């Protein structure tokens, strides 16, 4: 799974401030439960980290810090069933992201607040046989947590992460 962030945000009260974040690639586990042939719920699980850098008028800060992220996301999906082995789907749902092990580099007391966000997805399974297949999936998470830090003075603001989650993998149906 690739986690590709928007690279946007600001520190309140500092004109021209901006933020950027590292993109990461991680293993992920998706668990899908089918209520009918067409309707399913999917829970995605994985954890990653993000480095945070100051940009714009705060670029001189360089690396502000690093945090670990746990973003479980639950979506309700509609699966199209008239395409043989090709099984496309769309989904929408809710994400709750938890930030932990925050560590300031050029900021003391970095605290990124846990936050809810909406999620949209589109993807497909291509089934090789009754049980095994391959999967490709793209999700957009609308996630803009608030943060507090100390960079010589107490500051706060918004980290506009809004990541794209792009995944490929193997699927097994029970």
DSSP assignment string, 82-125 = SSTTEEEEEEEEEEEEEEEEEEESSSEEEEEPPEEEEEEEEEEE
Q: How far apart are CA 45 and CA 43, in angstroms?
A: 7
pLDDT of residue 33: 97
Residue with tokens 């309707």: 39
* Ordered mean pLDDT values, 10 residues apiece, the chain (174 residues): 95 95 95 97 95 95 95 97 96 98 92 98 97 97 96 93 96 93
pLDDT of residue 108: 86
Q: How far apart are CA 155 and CA 167, in angstroms?
A: 35
Q: What is the pTM of this model?
A: 0.92
* Nearby residues of 136 by Cβ (< 8 Å), 6 or more positions away: 123, 124, 167, 168
pLDDT of residue 152: 86
Look at residue 70 and give its three-state secondary structure.
strand
Note whether 145 and 161 are within 8 A (CB). Answer: yes
């Amino acid at each position: 799974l690739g986690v590709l962030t928007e690279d946007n945000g600001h520190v309140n009260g500092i004109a021209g401030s901006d933020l950027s974040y590292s993109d990461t690639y991680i293993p992920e586990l998706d668990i899908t439960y089918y209520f009918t042939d067409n309707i399913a719920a999917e829970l995605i699980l994985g954890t990653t980290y993000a480095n945070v850098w100051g940009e714009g008028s705060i670029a001189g800060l360089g690396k502000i810090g690093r945090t670990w992220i746990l973003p479980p996301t639950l979506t309700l999906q509609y699966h199209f069933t008239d395409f043989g082995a090709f099984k496309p789907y769309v989904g929408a749902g809710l994400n709750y992201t938890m930030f932990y092990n925050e560590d300031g580099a050029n900021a003391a007391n970095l605290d990124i607040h846990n936050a809810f966000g909406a999620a949209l997805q589109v993807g497909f399974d291509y089934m090789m046989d009754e049980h095994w297949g391959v999967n490709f999936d793209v999700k957009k998470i609308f996630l803009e947590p608030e943060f507090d830090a100390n960079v010589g003075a107490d500051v706060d603001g918004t980290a506009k992460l809004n990541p794209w989650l792009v995944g490929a993998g193997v699927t097994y149906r029970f």
